[in-house]
Amino acid sequence: MVLPLGDLHRTRITPVVTYALIALNVVMYVVQLQRGDDFMMALACTPWEITHAKDLDGPVLRPGVLAEVQRREANGERVRLDLRDVIPHAPSPIPVWLTLFTAMFLHGGPMHLAGNMLYLWIVGDNVEEVLGGVRYLIVYLACGLMGSLAQIAAAPNSMIPTLGASGAIAGIMGAYVVWFPHNQIRVLVFRFITVLPAAIVIGGWIALQIWLGVQGIGKMGESGGVAYLAHVGGALTGILVAFLFYDRAQQVKAMDEYGQGWQSIPPDGS
């Protein structure tokens, strides 16, 4: 087990947007706990809803189970359902396409939230320093959106809701590893704390997501679990952004080295 604890590269800015995103995710999770599962299901992103532009406003049976129930009922058999055969849904108060964004701020449990916010806290400040607050927020949302679309493209008829900030944060991680591959990250390896370069910690994580995503393509949309392709889609989007702003990142690193600071960088990054 390798758990990142923090990077050793400090920024010259206060990462206001990163802190605001972490706070918003935490607040939304508290609201989830107060409002219950219906609130979460109403704002989660379901591939079938997006591809059919239609809201699933109540529980549905898994597709394979539905076909079996219909067959047995046609034969006059009595059918007893297992709760695991039912996918919960709730009516959405917003157009279904907006759930592509609301789902980014929902989480399935405290460990899901904590893991995502830890990674965002570690890498977000450095990426925000390069991009600036507004551009950073746009990239964060774009990576989350592309992550969701990658998952939907792999299983467009899946009725299983997806949620989490993982796709967006994977994008920020992708940008970070391109710009700062040699940054040292403090990690917990089993019982020991050591430091490893970002190329190994984050690059290895992205490679693992790609491998797991490819392995699971055949079973995509059949059951719940980790949406690996959302991680891949987000990370690849972040990597693309990183190459587009690579020169700007090099300016930031050079100015940090010579102590000139963020304020010396022109608004257009030139």
Q: Choose which CATH entry (3.40.50.300, 3.90.1200.10, 1.20.1540.10, 2.40.50.140) describes domain 2-57+92-264.
A: 1.20.1540.10
Question: How far is the C-alpha of 253 from the C-alpha of 255, rounded, in Å?
Answer: 6
Q: Is the pLDDT of residue 199 over 70?
A: yes
Nearest to 159 by CA among 71, 224, 226, 81: 224
pLDDT digits (tens, 9 = 90+) for 59-97: 787 666 655 556 665 666 665 655 566 788 899 999 999
CA dist., res. 28 & res. 42, Å (int)? 13
Q: Please, what sign has the CA dihedral across residues 22, 152, 112, 125?
A: negative
- Of 111-115, 135-139, 215-219, 245-249, the least confident: 215-219
Percent of the chain's residues with pLDDT above 70: 81
Q: How confident is the model at residue 270 (pLDDT cuts 50, 70, 90)?
A: very low
Whole-number pLDDT of residue 17: 97
CA distance linking residue 143 with residue 230, whole number of Å: 9
pTM of the model: 0.85
Q: Which whole number is the average pLDDT over 145-153?
A: 93
pLDDT higher than threshold 90 for residue 241: yes
Q: SS3 for 134? A: helix
Under 8 Å between Cβ of 186 and 11: no
pLDDT for 31 equals 96
pLDDT reported for residue 124 = 94
* Structural domain boundaries in the chain: 2-57+92-264
Q: Are 175 and 243 in contact (CB under 8 A)?
A: no
Give the pLDDT confidence score for residue 256 in this predicted structure: 66
Q: How many CB atoms lie within 10 A of CB 163?
A: 24
Quick check: 121 and 17 in contact, CB under 8 A? no
Average pLDDT, the chain: 85
Residue 90 contacts residue 42 (beta carbons within 8 Å): yes
Q: What is the pLDDT of residues 244-262, one digit of tens each?
A: 999 999 888 787 666 544 4
Q: Which residues are catalytic?
A: 166, 231
Local structure of 94: helix, strand or coil: coil
For residues 134-160, give the mean pLDDT. Answer: 93
State pLDDT tens for residues 101-110.
Answer: 999 999 989 9
- According to the model, what pLDDT value does residue 253 have? 78
What pLDDT is attached to residue 262?
A: 42
Q: Is the separation of the CB atoms in 146 and 233 below 8 Å?
A: yes
Q: Which range has the top average pLDDT, 2-11, 167-176, 182-191?
A: 167-176
pLDDT above 90 as % of the chain? 59
In this prediction, residue 84 carries a pLDDT of 65
Planar angle of CA 91, 94, 100, nearest 5 degrees: 100
Round to whole Å and give the CA distance between 187 and 27.
Answer: 27
